[in-house]
């Protein structure tokens, strides 16, 4: 499994270099409670506005191995359809990756930003990600340690009285970092 995840990480980072990075920085808000990183790889979480962009996606279900195949489809279709991607590739998750103990229940989509006027044909699909607030942290270390960074983000969300609004996503940046983004809603007490 580690080999598969490592291979996926390398593939996604290289994929990010191919498509460049033009995303606008989001507005950040200070957290209610500072969260200490679980390891040297986690940049502490913040709450900021995300979204407001169009993207293409290749939906999938099942084990992580399928994500690499979906990226290959997206790359091939980019060439066939003459598309220009915007920003780094990302993966949307509609349920917790820990469900991978039952891979048939794991639902995800490989995504890449696209111009709103792009003419997209099957097997790619096009959607708009609405602006919303999200808890975000950056993972700077080995992919094998990303679970710890996700745990830091989950604790931050709980400690600051937010709930996660699915889907969540991970952006695979060209510099090798992974931005873990969990859209949130404030719990009113």
Residue ranges of domains in the chain, CATH in brackets: 2-186 (3.20.80.10)
Could you tell me which residues come within 8 angstroms of residue 25 by beta carbon, excluding any fewer than 6 positions away?
A: none
Mean pLDDT, the chain cut into blocks of 10 residues (189 residues total): 40 38 44 53 89 95 86 92 94 76 84 95 95 95 86 94 94 94 93
C-alpha to C-alpha distance for 68 and 20, rounded to whole angstroms = 19
146 phi, psi to nearest 5 deg: -65, -25
Give residue 99's pLDDT.
55
Sign of CA dihedral 124, 143, 103, 45: negative
Alpha-carbon dihedral 138, 172, 53, 43, rounded to 10 degrees = 0
């Amino acid at each position: 499994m580690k080999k598969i995840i490592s291979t996926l990480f390398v593939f996604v980072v290289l994929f990010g270099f191919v498509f460049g990075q033009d995303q606008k920085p989001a507005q950040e808000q200070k957290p209610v409670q500072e969260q200490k990183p679980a390891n040297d790889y986690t940049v502490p979480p913040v709450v900021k506005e995300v979204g407001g962009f169009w993207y293409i996606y290749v939906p999938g279900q099942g084990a992580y191995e399928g994500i690499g195949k979906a990226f290959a489809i997206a790359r091939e279709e980019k060439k066939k359809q003459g598309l220009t991607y915007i920003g780094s590739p990302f993966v949307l998750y509609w349920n917790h990756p820990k469900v991978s103990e039952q891979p048939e229940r794991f639902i995800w989509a490989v995504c890449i930003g696209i111009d709103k006027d792009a003419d997209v044909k099957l097997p790619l699909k096009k959607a708009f990600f609405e602006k919303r607030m999200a808890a975000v942290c950056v993972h700077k270390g080995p992919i094998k340690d990303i679970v710890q960074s996700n745990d830091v983000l989950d604790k931050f969300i709980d400690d600051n009285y937010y709930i996660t609004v699915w889907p969540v996503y991970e952006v695979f940046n060209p510099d090798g970092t992974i931005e873990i983004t969990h859209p949130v809603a404030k719990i009113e007490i």
